[in-house]
């Protein structure tokens, strides 16, 4: 249950440029770019679009009007109605060529850094609360007792073991340990450059009843980013869009104050050694370093829990010096016959597939034929999917009878 407002960080609405944290020139440029898009506007509209207070927008407006870059066309109630002058359109077009960002006013790098550190996760869990977090999985007490201390530490976690036993499912549900939200800026300014940070694909909005908070920050759930084989080095660096002049934040910056899961670690286009070399300092010191295109390097917080999930041997992926920096190592073993039956019953009951008392044992036997020696947590769901496809193909009700189960397993398992 999330509180309807941030708990640790509540920035007040800035009413001066000193409190705003970025320069007056940056704000006037932003206002001009917004006017170039809208053609005409009011002070209230600009406050809403740029997420700024009336006090800030009014100062910028008066400065631009004094420079004859804006023309007042009349009043809308107690508000000015204005457009860009001819000189204003020319100047705004010139600024637009350099940077096309015209959204919510960015926050300063210092403010972002302090906010991220202030909102570092503080976790308190025990076996019972973890059992609730993972209630939709069959998880042993031994596994919960490994997860608990690892999650409390908020350090990196290495989850490894045979494929198909729920490593990714465990990792994705770790986000449930958090019962609070965080504030994320729409954008961050570094050396007069804009880095777009808020991503609606990654950051899930939460209701915020505190209206007295700086509107340049958006209230979200703690993020969880999952990447697999598609991960390449460029995703971990700033990316400049040449057309707009706007930088996009790298994945680890978007995941700050949350979880970053690297699934199938070792199968990415970036080698494990290159990735760990890139993150050797961040994993150790909780800071990262990024560079703007023209060489300016700056520090950002690395305040996230990185979860490496793999079915490869740890020693094949990294040497001891690297593994030491991944302090929590959790082995997810193949499931026992009892766990397999529990998973089978949960899956088949949940999917509404009728079965007899001896069916789980029958399926176990089918799964362990032809030299197979381990039961995998994924088998019941995958076999149920095949039963559904068989029934659909033959336009009849799904059934877990021995003939269909034999047929599904023959489709599922490769012959050895």
Q: Percent of the chain scored above 70 by pLDDT?
A: 99
Is 30 exposed, middle or buried (CB count within 10 Å of its CB: 0-12, 13-18, 19+)? buried
Neighbours of 115 (CB within 10 A): 24
- Write down the residue that tokens 């001009």 correspond to: 32
Question: What is the architecture of the domain spanning 23-104?
Answer: Orthogonal Bundle (1.10)
pLDDT at site 327: 84
Mean pLDDT calculated for residue range 141-156: 93
Residues comprising the chain, all counted: 416
CA distance 310 to 231: 14
Is the predicted pLDDT of residue 83 greater than 60, yes or no? yes
| β-bridge pairing 79-84 and 70-76 | antiparallel
Domain 23-104 identical in fold to domain 337-412: no
CA distance 65 to 88: 9
Is the predicted pLDDT of residue 276 greater than 80, yes or no? yes
CA distance 82 to 77: 13
Q: What is the pLDDT of residues 21-62, one digit of tens each?
A: 999 999 999 999 999 999 999 999 999 999 999 999 999 999
Is the predicted pLDDT of residue 229 greater than 90, yes or no? no
Is the predicted pLDDT of residue 1 greater than 60, yes or no? no
Q: What residues contact residue 205 under an 8 Å CB cut-off, 6+ apart?
A: 218, 219, 220
Average pLDDT, rounded, for the chain: 92
- Tokens linked to 199: 């991503």
pLDDT at site 299: 97
Domains of the chain by residue range: 23-104, 115-331, 337-412
CA distance 407 to 202: 40
User: What topology is assigned to 115-331 in CATH?
Assistant: Rossmann fold (3.40.50)
The yes or no reply on domain 337-412 and CATH 1.10.8 is yes
Mean pLDDT calculated for residue range 294-322: 88
Which one, of 297, 276, 279, 296, lies nearest residue 287 by Cα? 279
Concatenating the DSSP letter of every residue in 368-379 gives T-TT---B-TTH
Name the pLDDT band for 333 (thresholds 50, 70, 90).
very high
| β-bridge pairing 287-291 and 297-301 | antiparallel
pLDDT at site 289: 96
Phi, psi of 301 (to 5 degrees): -70, 150
Mark out the alpha helices in 177-265 (DSSP H runs). Answer: 251-254
pLDDT at site 395: 95
Mean pLDDT calculated for residue range 189-216: 94
Concatenating the DSSP letter of every residue in 288-349 gives EEEE-TTS-EEEEE--SEEEEEESS-HHHH--HHHHHHS-EEEE-PPBPHHHHHHHHHHHHH
């Amino acid at each position: 249950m999330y509180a309807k407002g941030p708990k640790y960080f509540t920035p007040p609405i800035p009413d001066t440029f000193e409190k705003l944290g970025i320069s007056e020139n940056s704000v006037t440029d932003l206002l001009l770019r917004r006017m170039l898009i809208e053609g005409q506007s009011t002070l209230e509209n600009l406050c809403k679009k740029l997420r700024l207070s009336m006090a800030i927008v009014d100062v910028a407006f008066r400065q631009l009007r004094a420079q004859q870059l804006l023309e007042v066309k009349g009043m809308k109630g107690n508000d000015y109605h204005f457009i860009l002058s001819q000189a204003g359109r020319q100047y705004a077009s010139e600024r637009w060529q350099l940077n096309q960002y015209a959204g919510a006013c960015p926050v300063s790098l210092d403010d972002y850094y302090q906010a991220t550190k202030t909102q570092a996760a503080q976790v308190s869990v025990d076996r019972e609360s973890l059992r609730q977090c993972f209630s939709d999985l069959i998880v042993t007490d031994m596994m919960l007792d490994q997860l608990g201390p690892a999650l409390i530490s908020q350090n990196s976690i290495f989850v490894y073991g045979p494929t198909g036993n729920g490593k990714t499912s465990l990792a994705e549900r770790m986000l449930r340990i958090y019962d609070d939200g965080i504030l994320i800026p729409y954008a961050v300014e570094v050396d007069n450059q804009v880095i777009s940070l808020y991503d609606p694909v990654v950051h899930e909005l939460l209701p915020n009843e505190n209206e007295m908070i700086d509107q340049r920050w958006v209230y979200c759930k703690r993020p969880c980013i999952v990447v697999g084989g598609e991960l390449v080095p460029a995703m971990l660096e700033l990316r400049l869009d040449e057309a707009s002049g706007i930088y996009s934040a790298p994945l680890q910056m978007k995941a700050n104050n949350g979880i970053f899961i690297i699934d199938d670690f070792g199968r990415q286009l970036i080698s494990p050694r290159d990735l760990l070399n890139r993150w050797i300092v961040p994993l150790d010191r909780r800071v990262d370093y990024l560079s703007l295109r023209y060489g300016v390097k700056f520090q950002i917080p690395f305040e996230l829990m990185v979860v490496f999930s793999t079915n490869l041997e740890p020693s094949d992926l990294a040497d001891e010096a690297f593994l030491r920096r991944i302090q929590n190592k959790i082995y997810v073993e193949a499931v026992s016959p009892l766990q397999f039956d529990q998973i089978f019953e949960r899956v088949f009951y949940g999917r509404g597939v009728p079965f007899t008392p001896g069916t789980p044992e029958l399926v176990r036997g089918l799964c362990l034929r032809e030299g197979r020696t381990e039961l995998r947590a994924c088998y019941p769901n995958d076999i149920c999917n095949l039963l559904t496809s068989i029934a659909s193909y033959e336009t009849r009700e799904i059934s877990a009878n021995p003939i269909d189960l034999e047929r599904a397993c023959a489709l599922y398992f490769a012959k050895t």
